[in-house]
Amino acid sequence: MGYYLNVNNISIYVEDPYPKGVKTILFLHGWPGSHRLFEYQFDKLPQLGYRCIGIDTRGFGNSDKPFEGYDYDTLSDDVRGVVEALGLRDFTLAGHSTGGAIAARYMGRHLGYGVRKLVLIAAAVPSLIRRQDFPFGIEQERVLQIIEGTYNDRPQMLRDFGDNFFFQHTSQAFSDWFFQIGLQAAGWATAAIARTWIDEVLFTDLESIGVPTMIIHGIHDKVVPFQLAEVQHRMIRNSILVPLSFSGHGSFYEQRDEFNDTLVKFIES
């Protein structure tokens, strides 16, 4: 079932189809998606007894779309609000791409409140872009082009982004479905999150993580290069790195069976 929670004076949409699940996984989606990106986890994992909760980040999916609040501090505060409202304890926090960045900031800013284990999926941390003292990631110019495309022809920008998202072939119908998810977001939120990639870094947040952490990353990722996963593995103590050989940025779909099995084994270990 889905419902809305009032968090930080906005309505956050929460998908929570099996609240009776014994163990909880809280999913944070990447840009420019929504909780719907985890459909192939929500289809299967509740059958194994897991409570899968998906949050639509402010500005995206079914959540409110205010004009401000797209920095990582505010976004992690939104997550804390959901965790407190639902009384979550000893849960697994799983963040994909920008959702991984929000998860990392949650671990640093909120000291991992309630989190038992952490899963970073193609996470855009510690910095999506290359910097003077950080030679990994993508060029800033690519992000600036995304922002410009958002303000001038957002549908075309989303089509171009979708073309780089997956390594394996997807059907036209699936591509259209993925595109429609991106269109649910507000244009200003889409651009603001991209600006946050430039403005913020998460080095200190990664170093603060103390819970067992699994890093899942497709080796063919064109959005968040695999090198970032290797950096995360070096920075996070008590972490394991799981490279997926037939995935790009969307391993939760491209290798969904292996992804789900790996996630379950990690949670149960």
| Helix, strand, coil in percent for the chain, rounding step 5 | 45, 20, 35
> Residue 235: which of 107, 140, 142 has the closest Cα?
107
Q: How far is CA 229 from CA 51, 117, 134, 189, in A?
A: 27, 17, 14, 26
Type of residue at 1? M
Distance (Å, rounded) from C-alpha 164 to C-alpha 223?
7
The catalytic site residues sit at: 97, 221, 249
Torsions phi, psi for 50 (to 5 deg): -90, 140
